Structure 1
Amino acid sequence: MDNDIFEQFTEQLRRYIRERLIPAEKEVLETEMIPEAIMAEMRDLGLFGLTVPEEYGGAGMNIQQYIRTMREFSYAAPCFRSVTSINVGMVCSAFKNGGTDAQKAEWLPRLAAGEIASFGLTEPGSGSDSAAMQTTAVKSGNGWVLNGTKRYITNAPFANVALIMARTSKEALPKNAHVSAFIVPMDTAGITVGKSDKKMGQSGSHIADIIMEDVKLPADAILGGEEGKGFAFAMKSLDNGRMSVGAAATGYARRALDSALRYANERKAFGEPIANFQLIQQMLADSEIEIYAAECMLDDAARRADAGENVLRKAAAAKVFASEMCGRVVDRVVQIYGGAGYLAEYDAERFYRDARIYRIYEGTTQILQLQIAKHMLREWAAQA
Structure 2
Amino acid sequence: MTTTKVGPTIDGPGAGDLAVAGAEVDAEELGQILATTEEFIRTKVIPREQEIADGNEIPADLRQAARDLGLFGFAIPQQWGGLGLDLAQEVRLAEVLGYTSLALRSMFGTNNGIAGQVLVQFGTDEQKRTWLEKIASGEVVASFALTEDGAGSNPAGLRTKAVADGDEWVLTGEKRYITNAPTADLFVVFARYRDADSDGPGIAVFLVPADAEGVSVAPADKKMGQEGSLTATVHLDEVRVSAEALVGGDADVGYRAAMTILARGRIHIAAVAVGQAQRALDESVTSAAVSTQGGTPVGSNQAVQAMIADMATQVMAGRTIVREAARQWVAETDRRIAPSMAKLFCTEMLGTVADTAVQVHGGAGYMRGVVVERIFRDARLLRLYEGTSEIQRLIIGGGLVKQAARRLQ
Is residue 119–residue 162 contact of structure 1 (8 Å, CA) maintained in 2? Answer: yes
- How far did residue 173 of structure 1 move? 2.7
Equivalent of 1:350 in 374, 395, 409 = 374
Equivalent of 2:143 in 93, 104, 118 = 118
Unaligned runs of 5+ in 2: 1-24
| 1:341 equivalenced with 2:375 (yes/no) | no
Q: Which amino acid aligns with 2:366?
A: Y
| Distance verdict in 2 for CA 1:175–1:350, change over 3 Å | farther
Hey, what does 2:214 align to over in structure 1?
190
| Distance verdict in 2 for CA 1:344–1:55, change over 3 Å | same
Query: Within 2, Cα distance between the matches of 1:351 and 1:127?
Result: 24
- How far did residue 270 of structure 1 move? 3.3
Q: Which amino acid aligns with 1:340?
A: A
- How far did residue 129 of structure 1 move? 3.3
| 1:304 equivalenced with 2:328 (yes/no) | yes
Is residue 130–residue 176 contact of structure 1 (8 Å, CA) maintained in 2? Answer: no
Classify the secondary structure of the residue corresponding to 1:118: strand
Hey, what does 1:323 align to over in structure 2?
347
- How far did residue 133 of structure 1 move? 1.1
Equivalent of 2:129 in 99, 105, 108 = 105
Classify the secondary structure of the residue corresponding to 2:70: coil
Equivalent of 1:135 in 143, 160, 170 = 160
Hey, what does 1:8 align to over in structure 2?
32
1:82-109 C-alpha deviation (Å, 9 max, x unpaired): 1111110222211121111111111110
Hey, what does 1:45 align to over in structure 2?
69
Is residue 125–residue 132 contact of structure 1 (8 Å, CA) maintained in 2? Answer: yes
Hey, what does 2:172 align to over in structure 1?
147
Query: Within 1, Cα distance between the matches of 2:369 and 2:142?
Result: 33
Aligned length: 383
Hey, what does 2:226 align to over in structure 1?
202
Hey, what does 2:95 align to over in structure 1?
71
1:213-245 C-alpha deviation (Å, 9 max, x unpaired): 000000011100001111111111112211111
What does 1:85-96 align with in structure 2 at a 5 Å threshold?
85-96=109-120
Query: Within 1, Cα distance between the matches of 2:198 and 2:245?
Result: 23
Equivalent of 2:189 in 164, 182, 192 = 164
TM-score, scaled relative to structure 2? 0.92
- How far did residue 176 of structure 1 move? 4.1
Query: Within 2, Cα distance between the matches of 1:129 and 1:65?
Result: 28
Is residue 98–residue 105 contact of structure 2 (8 Å, CA) maintained in 1? Answer: yes
Query: Within 2, Cα distance between the matches of 1:55 and 1:341?
Result: 46
Classify the secondary structure of the residue corresponding to 1:353: helix
Hey, what does 1:247 align to over in structure 2?
271
1:344-373 C-alpha deviation (Å, 9 max, x unpaired): 132221111111111111100001111111
- How far did residue 152 of structure 1 move? 0.6
| Distance verdict in 2 for CA 1:146–1:193, change over 3 Å | same
Hey, what does 2:311 align to over in structure 1?
287
Query: Within 2, Cα distance between the matches of 1:272 and 1:129?
Result: 52
Q: Which amino acid aligns with 1:270?
A: G
Query: Within 1, Cα distance between the matches of 2:156 and 2:40?
Result: 44
Classify the secondary structure of the residue corresponding to 1:138: strand
What does 1:9-48 align with in structure 2 at a 5 Å threshold?
9-48=33-72
Equivalent of 1:362 in 386, 395, 403 = 386
1:288-338 C-alpha deviation (Å, 9 max, x unpaired): 111111111111111111112332110011000000000000100100011
- How far did residue 374 of structure 1 move? 1.5
| Distance verdict in 2 for CA 1:375–1:174, change over 3 Å | farther
- How far did residue 161 of structure 1 move? 0.4
Classify the secondary structure of the residue corresponding to 1:351: helix
Unaligned runs of 5+ in 1: none
Hey, what does 2:255 align to over in structure 1?
231
Is residue 172–residue 236 contact of structure 2 (8 Å, CA) maintained in 1? Answer: yes
Query: Within 2, Cα distance between the matches of 1:212 and 1:107?
Result: 21
Query: Within 1, Cα distance between the matches of 2:200 and 2:322?
Result: 28
Runs of 4+ in 1 over 2 A off after TM superposition: 128-132, 173-177
Query: Within 1, Cα distance between the matches of 2:332 and 2:64?
Result: 34
| 1:278 equivalenced with 2:333 (yes/no) | no
Query: Within 1, Cα distance between the matches of 2:123 and 2:288?
Result: 51
- How far did residue 255 of structure 1 move? 0.7
